[in-house]
Each structure stands twice: as C-alpha cells, then as structure tokens.
Amino acid sequence: MTKKQKVSHIIQILEELFPNPPIPLVHKDAYTLLISVLLSAQCTDERVNKITPLLFKLANNPLDMSNLSIETIREIIKPCGLSPAKSKAIFNLSHILINKYHGEVPNSFEALEELPGVGHKTASVVMSQAFGVPAFPVDTHIHRLATRWGLSSGKNVTQTEKDLKRLTPKSKWNTLHLQIIYFGRAFCPARGHKPEVCPICSIYG
C-alpha cells in the first residue's frame, strides 16, 4: 500500500466517524474565535468554553475589550493559565484591531501573525474556521497522531503541517484538522491508548 492509499483510507475512516465536526471553541464571530483560540494555548477547550462566556459578557468586541483593564481581563481568564501574558495580548491586540483595522479581524495570515499573542497555529484556526481559507492548524494532538500514523517524521509541528498539507487534498484541510482532533479524543489519547481497538492504529499504528 502506498502512502497516498494509506492517507485516503485514513481520511475515509475519519469521514465516516466524524462527518461534520463542529468547531470545539464556542464563539459568535472572528473576534471571539480569535480570543478563544488565544486562550486555548496550554489549556483545554472545555475550560476555555467555561471562561469565555464570563469574559464575553463584559466584552465581546475589540472596543469593549480595550476599555477593560488588563487586570480585569487577567482575573477572569486566570483558570486558563498563562494569564499575565494572555491578558496583555488580548488587551493590546484589541487596541490594534481598532486603530489599524477599523475594529475588524484581518483575514490574512501575515496580519494575524503580527498581532500580540497570535502565532501561526492560532492564525491558521482563524483563517480556516472564521474565513474559510484552506489551512491546516497543527496542535500537539494532531502532531502526535500524524507521527503515530507514520504520516510525518514528527520532528516539530512545522514539519508535520508541511507533511499533512503535502499528503492531503487542500479542499479537506479545514475539516480534516477538526476530525483528527475529535478522533484523538475519542480513540487515540496520549495516555492509556489501546492501539488494538483504535480504528486507525489497529491498522496503521
């Protein structure tokens, strides 16, 4: 079996199990998605979804957020971890969005990655899920599974992203990264993994 056939089969399995994967982070627009993804660094989506309603009740747009103090933001988001850095980033990027982008989230990788606290992975999530631009955000879970399935050498997330983009159809990237995340949670965890019962690892593990 060629690698291409293997990838096609893995995609087929993911399509059957998770045909319409929802975005795990609760949001209403590009701005609330951006803030949610920023908060999800080293924090579970579940915890982020518990914290963001409290934050967005006070401020769910750049103008209202920039009127809060960094201390207020930090207190609310403390359970997400890294709150000193994240609160400054949220405050500062909200000001930049107002002053430079008329309060709108820019829809380019370059502009997003220039914002405080926004790395390539965060920009990729926003581009794919808010603007529908093909992207393949690779987090630690996707990195782990791609390595486990032999789709990437697993040197780093940058290499894994390149490998997955090369191996998979561009039209499927935006759905595929979500399908892999959900698959990992359901069948392919980092700890306590049982390869023999995993629908993919039992074949390709």
Q: Which of 29, 57, 121, 170 is catalytic?
A: 121
Q: Which residue has the tokens 């709108």?
A: 104
Q: Which of 139, 155, 165, 170 is catalytic?
A: 139
Is residue 139 flagged as an active site residue?
yes
User: How many contiguous H segments (helices) and E segments (strands) does the chain have?
Assistant: 12, 0
Structure tokens at 81: 């971890």
Distance between CA 30 and CA 8 in Å, rounded?
A: 31
Residue type, 19: P
Is residue 163 flagged as an active site residue?
no
Structure tokens at 114: 């220039």
Distance between CA 176 and CA 159 in Å, rounded?
A: 17
User: 19: which residues sit within 8 A by CB, 6+ positions away?
Assistant: none
Instruction: Give SS3 for 61.
Output: coil
Task: Indicate which residues carry an active-site annotation.
Answer: 121, 139
